[in-house]
Amino acid sequence: MTPDLERSARRMRQLLGDATETTFHEASFPTAGVPGKADAGALAERLEKDPRISALEAQALATQLVIFANAGLKRLEEGVPDWHLSDQQVSAFEAVMQVRGRPALRVKDNDVEDLDRHPGAEFWATYVDLYRNRLQQAIGATGAVRVRDVWGNAWGQGTAFLVAPDLVLSNRHVLIPPGNGQALVQRLPGALGAQLKNGFNVTIDFAYEHGRYGQRSHRVLDVPFIAAADDPVDAALLRIEPVSGSKPLVISRESVERLDYLYVIGHPGRVLVVDDKVNAVFGTLDECKRLSVGRKYALDGFDPAELVHDASTFGGYSGGPVLGFDELQVRALHYWGDPRVGNRAISATALQRHERLGPFLRQADRI
């Protein structure tokens, strides 16, 4: 996803609601209601943990965030197109969501940070503790798509995860971004795949975490499959140097209808915010690995091709796996945040049914 922050008005409405202000907790789970004093208090508490920010400044910044979030919600209620919200308003929404129990948890040493650092996220502690081993396996199989050009410039361009010892799954738009993004490959005429462009060294770093950069980096060798530009299944398979120590993830064959609570793993980039110090709400987003928790929205139809969810997915989560807590199988491939309907992912059954991608995935299952 190329924007710094995925703008999801439906997600905002669902979590924040259009009602009057409510209490901050309800049965240990985040409630709806417009942002208010409880949110400002939680934001101030988070901001005060940054040694650069005084208690007085934290309160002022938190109040400002609540004001911006409410201004954005009011614009939505007045019928202003979702994409006309300012970066300040969207960032403020994300900040409120963070303290209402949708944190993007830092990953360090292949494990998630303590949820005690995230007021409002207590509900998720039980899930994280109960399924920690599965989370760690999924974390270890997910990596950052890292790029270095001939001039020495380096950057992240999304996320990918193991489906075989030498194959990772990601998005088409991670390799060929829309607009002015840097294309890393060129399509091969009449072929399913693509070849890497000269001048770029592309790797998958499975330990792109704080203090561990490059320790588990594997070079991308070729691209055996990339979806056509008009294919709704935004996917690509990358062949890499074989990986040991991490078990590939299995693409589920079950409909996302049975999915409820979920998590997404990705490598978020920097967020445009009201004030640089407000990054303390999120923790500096530096493309290091994160795990975001959330829930599925109501589905449209039977066995839909897409999953819509409310987990926080900043730019850089594209290509990340979406999993349920109760089983170690990928239920969807995250690909973007639609400003009209929420954060979207391609369902596992749509991936399996794909005429050209499906055979690759079924072959990977047998390895």
pLDDT score, position 185: 97
* Residue that is written with structure tokens 């309160």 in the block: 59
Each residue's pLDDT tens digit, 258-311 = 899 999 999 987 655 656 666 666 667 788 999 999 888 867 667 788 998 888
The amino acid present at 1, given as its one-letter code, is: M
pLDDT one-digit tens code per residue, 347-363 = 999 999 999 999 999 98
Torsion sign, CA atoms 34, 40, 41, 45: positive
**Amino acid 172: pLDDT:** 97
Q: What percent of the chain lies above the pLDDT cut of 70?
A: 82
Confidence of residue 28 (pLDDT cuts 50, 70, 90): very low
The domain locations on the chain are 144-246
User: Residue 39's pLDDT band (boundaries 50, 70, 90)?
Assistant: confident
Residue 87 has pLDDT above 70, yes or no: yes
Count of C-beta atoms within a 10 Å radius of residue 299: 16
Whether residue 205 is predicted with pLDDT greater than 90 in this model: the reply is yes
* CA–CA dist 361, 353 (Å, integer): 10
Is residue 122 very low, low, confident or very high in pLDDT (cuts 50, 70, 90)? confident
Confidence of residue 187 (pLDDT cuts 50, 70, 90): very high
Average pLDDT over residues 327-338: 89
Instruction: Please give the pLDDT value at position 315.
Output: 72
Q: What is the pLDDT of residue 6?
A: 45
User: What is the band of 170 on the pLDDT scale with cuts at 50, 70, 90?
Assistant: very high
**Structural tokens at position 5:** 């922050």
What is the rounded CA–CA span in Å between residue 328 and residue 321? 11
Average per-residue pLDDT for the chain: 84
Q: Is the pLDDT reported for residue 119 higher than 90?
A: no
Q: Say what the pLDDT of residue 16 is.
A: 56
Give the per-residue SS3 of the chain. Answer: CCCCCCCCHHHHHHHHCCCCCCCCEECCEECCCCCCHHHHHHHHHHHCCCCCCCHHHHHHHHHHHHHHHHHHHHHHHCCCCHHHCCHHHHHHHHHHHHHCCCCEEEEECCEECCHHHCCCCHHHHHHHHHCHHHHHHHHHCEEEEEEEECCCCEEEEEEEEEEECCEEEECHHHHCCCCCCCCCEEECCCCCCEEECCCEEEEEECCCCCCCCCCCEEEEEEEEEECCCCCCCCCEEEEECCCCCCCCCEECCCCHHHCCEEEEEECCCCCCCCCHHHHHHHCCCCCCCEEEEEEECCCCCCCCCEEEECCCCCCCCCCCEEEECCCCEEEEEEEEEECCCEEEEEEHHHHHHCCCHHHHHHHHHCC
pLDDT of 203 strictly over 70: yes
Domain 144-246 has CATH 1.10.357.10: no
Cβ neighbours of 111 (radius 10 Å): 17
Quick one: average pLDDT of 190-212?
92
Q: What pLDDT is recorded for position 225? A: 98
Separation of alpha carbons 37 and 66, rounded Å: 8
* pLDDT above 50: residue 21: no
Contacts of residue 329, Cβ cutoff 8 Å, sequence gap at least 6: 249, 250, 251, 252, 254, 323, 348
Task: Measure Cα distances from 4 to 52, 90, 199, 270 in Å.
Answer: 24, 11, 25, 6
How many beta carbons lie within 10 A of that of residue 40, not counting itself? 23
Residue with tokens 């039980």: 126
* Predicted pLDDT at 26: 24
Kindly state the tokens that stand for 94: 């994300």
Average confidence (pLDDT) over 108-114? 92
- How far apart, in whole angstroms, are the C-alpha atoms of residue 203 and residue 79? 44
